[in-house]
């Protein structure tokens, strides 16, 4: 059988942690920052992990990341 291809969109958006969870960037920081409080903007820095339900779906797109 030929190798399965990784979805290139998933490859760009998600990284695997050492424990096998998926990291993603925080949502809600592209535009409209004037509406958000400084506290909100600070909390949205960095990355977060995917929920377990979403992780099952995304891991299907990245067959060789396990």
User: What is the Rg, in whole angstroms, of the alpha carbon atoms belonging to the chain?
Assistant: 15
CATH architecture of 8-61: Irregular (4.10)
State the virtual CA torsion across 21, 57, 3, 19 in degrees, nearest 10: 10
* Length of the chain, in residues: 66
Nearest to 47 by CA among 26, 30, 17: 26
pLDDT of residue 16: 95
Q: What is the number of other CB atoms lying within 10 angstroms of the CB of residue 22?
A: 19
Q: What is the pLDDT of residues 9-63, one digit of tens each?
A: 999 999 999 999 999 999 999 999 999 999 999 999 999 999 999 999 999 999 9
For residues 27 and 10, give the distance between their C-alpha atoms in angstroms, rounded to a whole number: 15
pTM across the whole model: 0.83
Structural domain spans, the chain: 8-61
């Amino acid at each position: 059988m030929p190798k399965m291809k990784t979805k290139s969109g998933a490859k760009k958006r998600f990284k695997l942690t050492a424990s096998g969870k998926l990291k993603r960037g925080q949502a809600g920081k592209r535009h409209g920052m004037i509406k958000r409080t400084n506290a909100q903007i600070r909390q949205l820095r960095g990355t977060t992990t995917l929920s377990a339900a979403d992780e099952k779906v995304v891991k299907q797109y990245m067959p060789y990341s396990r």
